[in-house]
Structure 1
Amino acid sequence: MGPQEAPRTTWPKNAWYVACTPDEIGQKPLGRQICFERMVFHRGRSNQVVALEDFCPHRGAPLSLGFVRDGELVCGYHGLSMGCDGRATSMPGQRVTSFPTIRAFPVLERYGFIWVWPGEADQADPAKLHHLPWAESPGWAYGGGLYHIACDYRLMVDNLMDLTHETYVHASSIGQKEIDEAPVNTRVEADQVVTSRFMEKIAAPPFWRMALRGAGLPEDAIVDRWQICRFSTPSHVMIEVGVALEGLGGYDAPADRKASSIVVDFITPETETTHWYFWGMARNFAVEDTALTDTIRQGQAKIFGEDLEMLERQQDNLLRHPDRRLLRLNIDAGGVRSRMMIEQAIAAELAAAT
């Protein structure tokens, strides 16, 4: 694929994607490519987030190399100022009323993230944003991070919808042989693909021993463990995970007898072979313990770093051998059905366009 060649359709565009976190938009504009669209983010006069095409209409320079002045984006090449609607407002020694406009993307700031809609602006409905109840509740704590990963975003969806790999990729943190031994169930619920696995009367792996300590529970206790992965379009995966003191109901055990959380995964395509991975964990125990939040974040960073290496090298192999047929096993059902849901969303967009 040449540098100017747009990819074939591999993702829905009429959807809300996480573009960045609020702390990434500071005094300088932020440039980011999302669904092959090069965008620039900054804050306008009233502190609202603005997303524009990262292209100066004068000479095509990236506006992300400019600066923000009085809530407007100023090109760092010749000083052209761009309004929040994508219209040129001023330029030293020039009249700009006839300058072409650039694209402005719908954008939302909600749940601690900046969301962007790369598709048709007139279809950008805030009501279509994935609802995150935990992000609005004081009874939950959240910590996370961001990785840029050189692989097709759908490989990450596959990875998250089949946690069998934990036994091998994450053997020192969250993996254990019981994951392999426990049956996995896959089903479709309304607009979600759900895979679930339950393990009873097992020893907690290192990461969950740490979580048990944080929840004020004995780290060496025998536990019941669960993993419930929920995929929703365009590319979000929320994973309910946890351990409870054995024999008390597992997933349904009393809150003070378990350590449970939601692994948060927002996967934002950049190109056909790269994506932005916003990861984190929302927990509803020891929510005031900021040190525990940092410890969990560090643990997750290590875990997801192990995924990063595996996925990037997997992508390299697939590019080297594009004609090789890959196997589909029962453990792959969650990823397969998630991809089907993605394809259905893309097909619906194409049908509406034609």
Structure 2
Amino acid sequence: MFPKNTWYVACMPQDIDDKPLGRKVCGERIVFYRGEEGRVAALEDFCPHRGAPLSLGFVREGRLVCGYHGLEMGCEGKTIAMPGQRVRGFPAIRSYSVEERYGFIWVWPGDAALADPAKIPAQHWHDNPEWAYGGGMFHIACDYRLMIDNLMDLTHETYVHSGSIGQKEIDEVPCKTVVNGDEVVTSRFMENIEPPPFWKLALRGNHLADDVPVDRWQICRFTPPSHVMIEVGVAHAGKGGYDAPSDCKAYSIVVDFITPETETSIWYFWGMARHFNPGDKALTASIREGQAKIFSEDLEMLQLQQRNLLDHPDRGLLKLNIDAGGVQSRKILDRIMADEQAGRAAPVSASPNTPDGMAGSATAAA
């Protein structure tokens, strides 16, 4: 149900600074840790001696030590030593391609021979002094595709997030969906409206008036396997909207990396890259707190939606115009998974996440 020959976010660097981390990714139980010289490593979370989880052990001099009987494992999956034992004949365990980049630990759960670090999606805001970033992670009991559906259809904001980012104009203004190769883009532009509470906060954070009409935009970009970047913002009305100068708007990119744990659970890495007043740490914390509250509201909805779908597996679901972004994203995923299962395992390429406007011409229909 999910591509494996591709990069997923596994964790954040601080998650493995002190001890190994066990995490299931795409059904694979993996242990992440820092090996020699602090370089990240990823192995099957299975000790070849008695099957104990290696994630319950510790790291000593770059070696992963099993917490059951002290077996020492190297970064390539070969046993190096064990107290009182000759280990030359011990079977190797699987190692995974893993990279530390852009503030995340990325893992390739499929064929390691196909793993290309250049396919990790670029994040131009990382370590850029003109940008600020804050985010977090949620564990959610739902199919990863339900989260993609959620992020590619922001109409739900009017109802799920009525006290923060929702407003009636989202319902009233139609969205447009286009497909550019393996990228799906759904956009909505609202003009001369009142900013909702979250965006009033953002305007104040950029030293702008929050009691005047604004133009608002939402541009959702899906790239496989499950990355969704959403350009969002508001500008004082009449100043150019999306293209308004920086001193007239509050502009951000909502960062969403969705990593399947199982067929009905995910690790959801969320955040916001802000392109205004980047030095204000208090603003970063405030926006992160607000965003966490917003995503918590999605969490409840998605988990109960998943429960309903499991209870009624034979019920058909409607596909409306507002669902086009999710529908087209699923079509791309279906094609990639079919190719992978048929042995046509071309690795999934992830496009750089750059705010490059609305290129594309193929209008998608649900």
The Cα RMSD (Å) is 0.9
Match of 2:284 in 1: 293
Q: Letter of the aligned partner of 1:225 in structure 2? A: R
Structure 1 CA distance for aligned equivalents of residues 124 and 17 of structure 2:
27
**CA drift at 1:353:** 5.5
Structure 2 CA distance for aligned equivalents of residues 321 and 77 of structure 1:
43
Q: 1:330 aligns with which of 303, 313, 321?
A: 321
Q: Structure 2: which 5+ residue stretches go unaligned?
A: 346-366
Q: Letter of the aligned partner of 1:336 in structure 2? A: V
Q: 1:196 aligns with which of 161, 179, 187?
A: 187
Match of 2:85 in 1: 94
| Deviates further, 116-125 or 188-197 | 188-197
Q: 1:185 aligns with which of 169, 176, 182?
A: 176
Structure 2 CA distance for aligned equivalents of residues 165 and 37 of structure 1:
33
Identity %: 69
**CA drift at 1:132:** 1.3
Kindly report structure 1 stretches of 4+ aligned residues shifted beyond 3 Å: none
Deviations 1:164-202 (A, max 9, x none): 000000000000000000010000123310000000000
Structure 1 CA distance for aligned equivalents of residues 188 and 4 of structure 2:
32
Q: Structure 1: which 5+ residue stretches go unaligned?
A: 1-9
Are residue 274 (structure 1) and residue 265 (structure 2) matched?
Answer: yes
Deviations 1:137-179 (A, max 9, x none): 2211100000000000000000000000000000000000000
Are residue 45 (structure 1) and residue 36 (structure 2) matched?
Answer: yes
Structure 1 CA distance for aligned equivalents of residues 344 and 85 of structure 2:
39
Q: 1:61 aligns with which of 41, 52, 65?
A: 52
Structure 2 CA distance for aligned equivalents of residues 210 and 58 of structure 1:
56
Q: Letter of the aligned partner of 1:22 in structure 2? A: P
Are residue 248 (structure 1) and residue 239 (structure 2) matched?
Answer: yes
Give the alignment's TM-score, normalised by structure 2.
Answer: 0.93
Q: How many residues align?
A: 345
Structure 2 CA distance for aligned equivalents of residues 54 and 239 of structure 1:
34
Structure 1 CA distance for aligned equivalents of residues 127 and 336 of structure 2:
28
Structure 2 CA distance for aligned equivalents of residues 318 and 38 of structure 1:
26
Structure 1 CA distance for aligned equivalents of residues 293 and 149 of structure 2:
19
Match of 2:360 in 1: none
Structure 2 CA distance for aligned equivalents of residues 72 and 224 of structure 1:
55
Match of 1:129 in 2: 120
Structure 1 CA distance for aligned equivalents of residues 210 and 290 of structure 2:
16
